[in-house]
Structure 1
Amino acid sequence: MQVDIILNEYDSPRAMAEQATLAESYGIRAIWSASYATGRDPFLSLAPAAQATSKILLGPLAVSPMELHPLKITQELLTLNELCDGRAIIAVGAGGGVLAAMGIKRSQMVESVRECVEIIRAALTGEDVTYRGDIYTAHQFDARWAKDLPPPQIYVGASQERMSYMATEKADGLMGSDLIPPLIRLTKGWVDEGLARHERTGQPFGVSNFWAWHIKKDKQASRREACRELVLRGILRPRYTEVLLSKEDSDFVQENKGLFWGAFARGAGTIDGAPAHIVDALIEGLSSAGDLDDVDREIERFKQYASLGLTEIAIRVHGNPVDAIKLIGERVVPAVQ
């Protein structure tokens, strides 16, 4: 299993370059720049890192064609790929917070992502792009300037069946989010079936998982951070809570999700009104949290995930990314890669 790092959206491009250089020194496979409505541009943020590094993959996560036209996504991706000499990577998704900030409702999600990937692929041929899809059009786009470099890797953000099948046809890999063992098995089944359907069995195809990392020296600080972010873990959908909790506790979460959203909105380290045993079970099941004595437990978790079919784990660091990268680089990477 390869290890990727997802950086937060608050650090400057200069700081991200330093973090990417550090990650590269540990043999980490990729640095992802998180794309959020409150953050910096996920492509431009990686420009200094592209110049400062030589091996690590670099890319935005996740960009939706509903927030940026696929032709513009292609331009930015190929420009980043040129800056880093063919090391660009991208995750194309259906969108989330950025769309909400723009007041745009998601629609035709699988079709939109499919057409975006097809437009990127068309540009990679080096020929003039003439594309007329059901949703997007791109023509008179010439990317010959980009064809002599190794092509960027294209991942699709996918946690459902149709998107996963489409990814196995069009993309180089997929990235799920907060996938726990039953969902990893389900996703791996979709991947295997899709690759067979599209006659790609045996070809390289990445299966990654966005995973929250809250491990710190201070266990209580870790728990506060994990509490604050907890509602984002799979948006606490029933397919998560029903696995990790009793029916009664799962029903409580579904009926009182506002408590969890409130903690996130306030930046609070506690979820007032939610029983501690529910919060603890969700944190344990949906993230890596605890102190330094808990790192070995998380290594075993990642090894289990690899045995279930993950080829990569994309670790979303919080708080101080330098400390997190050092800890992951020194203890996790040697144990799982």
Structure 2
Amino acid sequence: MTDREIHLPVAAQPSIDDIVAITQRAEENDYVRAWMPETWGRDAVTTLTMLAERTDEIELGTSIANVFSRSPALLGQTAATLQEASDGRFRLGMGPSGPAVIEGWHGESFERPLRRTREYIDIVRRVVEGDGLEYDGDIYTLSGFRLRFDPPETPPPIDVAGMGPKSVELAGRFADGWHATTFTPDGLRERLEDLHRGAELGDRSPDDIRVTLSLPCCVLENGERARELAAQHLAFYVGGMGTYYRESLSRQGYEDEANEIAASWASGDREAAVNVLDDGLLDELAIAGDPAHAREQLAEFADIDGLDAIAMAPPRGASGDDIAATVDAMAPDN
């Protein structure tokens, strides 16, 4: 059975209390995990610490902590501390993010993202397992330290986010899980082949690699409004967040649509960008509509062999009431 999880809203909520309330609602509805994104809003570490304190059972994770704004040793310390704070409920999702965030927000050069991610996996693992940090890599040479507190009894698993073939292969070869986003069912199946190739290169079983798909999700009695919000969300990511989402959509057979969304967004015609996401394409990339339609869409994704969890991601423009309705409608018991 495919687990249902919540990908907390990437758009700023009025307060941390609102983020806590969404997570508590998901916990009450038996969602398995809450993922906290980190872009240029509230930082994930502080927010997850609050969530760990104010929830009891729901598992928690970063989706994603980028590998440029924190050193790998600091990210390891953070993961070990969050595992302690959450009583063993933490899962570290990390990845390179993209130039729009790394260069535009953090002012760092987006160089060698795959190699950097590979070295982060190695270093973070050594830190959270309490090993002495002796590391000689292409990017990092580190020596002389280990944690000054007992490492977690169960080290937090490490998921890697990725869209392209090589980044997904890297996840299959070295990580404990792959965190996927903005995929059609067929596009996800194709990338799962890359994951399995990476697992084979790493002499590992694909069954040991947890696959989580983050899907834009808005489920309301007013299905038309739900679909409008999901389409606006996707148009922003494909059109306004650099090239990664556009390139991923192009690889999945929608190159013309991806380029049209990007061109319309760049010219300031947001309405035209949203309109490219017709009913067929929207159903390929999101769960959106009234509850009956949403359950049909969910079943299509849940049937994908090798997919372990679906993380419902409320759209950027969703109100608090919209998010609450979506969490309730997509609860595992519904």
- TM-score, normalised to structure 2's length? 0.85
- TM-score, normalised to structure 1's length? 0.84
Q: 1:321 deviation in Å? A: 5.2
Q: Greater shift after overlay, 271-280 or 183-192?
A: 271-280
* Whole-angstrom distance in 2 between the partners of 1:243 and 1:198: 26
1:32-81 deviation per Cα after TM superposition (whole angstroms, max 9, x unaligned): 111112x0111111112101222221122111222221112112221111
Q: Which residue of 2 aligns with 1:4?
A: 5
1:308-328 deviation per Cα after TM superposition (whole angstroms, max 9, x unaligned): 321111221232456535544
Q: Which residue of 2 aligns with 1:303?
A: 302
Q: 1:209 deviation in Å? A: 1.2
Structure 1 pair 89–172 and aligned structure 2 pair: CA distance change class (3 A): same
Q: 1:121 deviation in Å? A: 0.6
* Whole-angstrom distance in 1 between the partners of 2:290 and 2:253: 22
For the 8 Å contact 1:4–1:312, the answer to whether it is kept is: yes
For the 8 Å contact 1:14–1:48, the answer to whether it is kept is: no
* Whole-angstrom distance in 2 between the partners of 1:216 and 1:104: 40
Q: 1:146 deviation in Å? A: 4.2
1:251-271 deviation per Cα after TM superposition (whole angstroms, max 9, x unaligned): 3652562313566xxxxxx84
* Whole-angstrom distance in 1 between the partners of 2:130 and 2:277: 54
Structure 1 pair 219–68 and aligned structure 2 pair: CA distance change class (3 A): same
Given the alignment of the two structures, is residue 129 of structure 1 paired with residue 151 of structure 2, yes or no? no
Q: Greater shift after overlay, 206-215 or 192-201?
A: 192-201
Structure 1 pair 70–23 and aligned structure 2 pair: CA distance change class (3 A): same
One-letter amino acid of the counterpart of residue 18, structure 1: A
One-letter amino acid of the counterpart of residue 251, structure 1: D
Q: Which residue of 2 aligns with 1:152?
A: 156
Q: Which residue of 2 aligns with 1:292?
A: 291
Q: 1:236 deviation in Å? A: 5.5
* Whole-angstrom distance in 2 between the partners of 1:277 and 1:14: 36
CA RMSD of aligned residues (A): 2.7
Match for residue 256 of structure 2 among 243, 246, 251 = 251
Q: Which residue of 1 aligns with 2:311?
A: 314
Structure 1 pair 51–197 and aligned structure 2 pair: CA distance change class (3 A): same
Structure 1 pair 87–322 and aligned structure 2 pair: CA distance change class (3 A): farther
Structure 1 pair 308–261 and aligned structure 2 pair: CA distance change class (3 A): farther
Q: 1:172 deviation in Å? A: 0.8
Q: Which residue of 2 aligns with 1:45?
A: 47
* Whole-angstrom distance in 2 between the partners of 1:141 and 1:148: 17
One-letter amino acid of the counterpart of residue 7, structure 1: L
For the 8 Å contact 2:169–2:198, the answer to whether it is kept is: yes
* Whole-angstrom distance in 2 between the partners of 1:121 and 1:57: 20
SS in 2 for 1:210: strand
Count of aligned pairs between the two proteins: 322
Q: 1:156 deviation in Å? A: 0.2
Match for residue 265 of structure 2 among 260, 265, 271 = 260
Q: Which residue of 1 aligns with 2:191?
A: 187
SS in 2 for 1:140: strand
Structure 1 pair 255–7 and aligned structure 2 pair: CA distance change class (3 A): closer
Q: Which residue of 1 aligns with 2:110?
A: 106
Match for residue 61 of structure 1 among 60, 63, 72 = 63
Match for residue 249 of structure 2 among 234, 240, 250 = 240
Structure 1 pair 133–102 and aligned structure 2 pair: CA distance change class (3 A): same
* Whole-angstrom distance in 2 between the partners of 1:277 and 1:41: 33
Q: 1:243 deviation in Å? A: 5.3
Given the alignment of the two structures, is residue 74 of structure 1 paired with residue 83 of structure 2, yes or no? no
